């Protein structure tokens, strides 16, 4: 099942429809995403929701994220779970710290 799901991940369309235009966001650099935001081709909320949707869909397969903060906008970043972040759960991958904020 995991192998077929990973194949599905690789074969899925990587486009976002914005104002009637399809746009490929995967594989774009942070600089390219920044330019799209500055030119208002895409909003920060649309960009964040695009990646959040992918995280929610594929994280059960990939298990890449421990905590996802979904009330953001703009270019998403991933922070390793060993750094304390104010108001966000930090577990360092340990069950002992499962509820440490």
Q: pLDDT band at residue 34, thresholds of 50, 70 and 90?
A: very high
Whole-model pTM over 0.85: no
pLDDT tens-digit series, residues 49-96: 888 888 899 999 998 888 888 777 778 888 888 888 888 888 888 888
- The per-residue pLDDT for 10 is 54
pLDDT tens-digit series, residues 1-33: 444 555 555 555 455 555 445 567 888 899 999
3-state secondary structure of 42: coil
What the block records as the tokens of 61 is 């397969």
User: What HEC string does the chain produce?
Assistant: CHHHHHHHHHHCCCEEEECCEEEECCCCCHHHHHHHHHCCCCCHHHHHHHHHHHHHHHHHHHCCCCCCCCCCCCCCCCCCCCCCECCECCCCCCHHHCCCC
Q: pLDDT band at residue 40, thresholds of 50, 70 and 90?
A: very high
């Amino acid at each position: 099942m995991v192998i077929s799901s990973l194949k599905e991940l690789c074969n899925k369309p990587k486009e976002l429809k914005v104002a009637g235009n399809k746009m490929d966001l995967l594989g774009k650099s942070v600089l390219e995403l920044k330019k799209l935001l500055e030119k208002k081709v895409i909003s920060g909320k649309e960009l964040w929701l695009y990646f959040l949707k992918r995280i929610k869909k594929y994280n059960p397969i990939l298990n890449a994220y421990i905590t996802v903060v979904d009330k953001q906008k703009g270019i998403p970043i991933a922070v390793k779970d060993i750094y304390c972040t104010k108001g966000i759960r930090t577990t360092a991958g340990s069950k002992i710290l499962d509820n440490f904020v």
